[in-house]
Structure 1
Amino acid sequence: MSDSRLTFKEMCARFDVTPRTLRYYEYIELLAPERDGRARLYGPREVARMTLILRGRRFGFSLEEIRQWLLIYQQKGTRPQLEHWVRLADRQLEQLERQRGELEVSIADLRALRETAVAELGRLVEG
């Protein structure tokens, strides 16, 4: 086997994913490894796609959004794919900013509630 291809087990280890996850990504056509009998072999294309998939998941994109985005490159090329990516990124950035605002409010509320509880504990110890 060439050094540029990874086995199923090596792919799982490299990306720290479960075999179930890797099989699922194949099932929904995000990945298409070469087959050698029952063995799956992952070349540079699949490694690059897996990197993009995991990065997309980290940014909060759905697997279907990632699949569609990868399909655009295959069907239409780089420019349409990048244009679509910019639209997705803009939408996701808005969502993440909204979530950050909600988290900041929750953190402030929790801190205030904690301080109230600490003050109450102080009064209970004194009394």
Structure 2
Amino acid sequence: MMDESGDLQGIQEVADMLGITARTLRFYEDKGLIEPSRIGTTRVYRRREIARMQLILRGKRLGFSLTDIAEFLDLYDADPQHLEQMRALAERVRQRITELEQQRDTLDQTLADLAKLEGEALARVHAHEPEGRRVAG
């Protein structure tokens, strides 16, 4: 459902375009992050709402919370130059990078611990197995 200027699209068209479900769009509407217009009882989406959804989905992919995303969207609406949004975004991205680096360090240590444990377990198995039954490892 598009108007003559191409501005209005139905919920399923937008969902298909963004690779999400109509239910996902309704979820973000319920959270107040998007506000589709209505023609009767039918939701219709303008370019602004589609752009907001793209920002929301990108934020989710990058691991931001809905609260963070809502703040970015509020700044986006309040500042036509988007300078405050960019400052806040840069700060929050730096925090997210730090969080992910800490998680990576923890994962690296866990992987090293598991590899060591595996090696010790296999060494013990090999030490007590008869020659003909040894399993490569």
Give TM-score scaled by structure 2 length: 0.79
Unaligned runs of 5+ in 2: 132-137
2:68 alignment partner in structure 1: 65
**Equivalent position of 1:109 in the other structure:** 113
Q: How far apart are 1:91 and its partner, in Å?
A: 1.0
Match of 2:24 among 13, 21, 24: 21
Q: Name the structure 1 match of 2:12.
A: 9
CA pair 10-116 structure 1, distance change in 2 beyond 3 A: farther
Instruction: Decide which structure has the larger Cα Rg and report it.
Output: 2
User: After the TM superposition, which parts of structure 1 deviate over 3 Å for at least 4 consecutive aligned residues?
Assistant: 3-6
Q: What are the Cα deviations for residues 33-77 of structure 1, in whole angstroms up to 9, with x where unaligned?
A: 121112112222222211211111121110011011110121233
Most deviating of 14-23 and 89-98: 14-23
Q: Which range moved further: 19-28 or 93-102?
A: 19-28
Q: CA deviation at 1:24?
A: 1.6
Question: Aligned pairs, how many?
Answer: 127
Q: Distance in 2 between matches of 1:120 and 1:6?
A: 65
88-97 or 115-124: bigger deviation: 115-124
Q: CA-atom RMSD, angstroms?
A: 2.0
1:95 is displaced (CA, Å) by 0.8
Q: TM-score, normalised by structure 1?
A: 0.84
Q: Which has the higher helix share?
A: 1
Distance 1:126 1:23, change over 3 A: same
Structure 1: unaligned runs, 5 residues or longer: none
State yes or no: 1:121 paired with 2:104. Answer: no
- Between the aligned residues of both structures, percent identity stands at 35
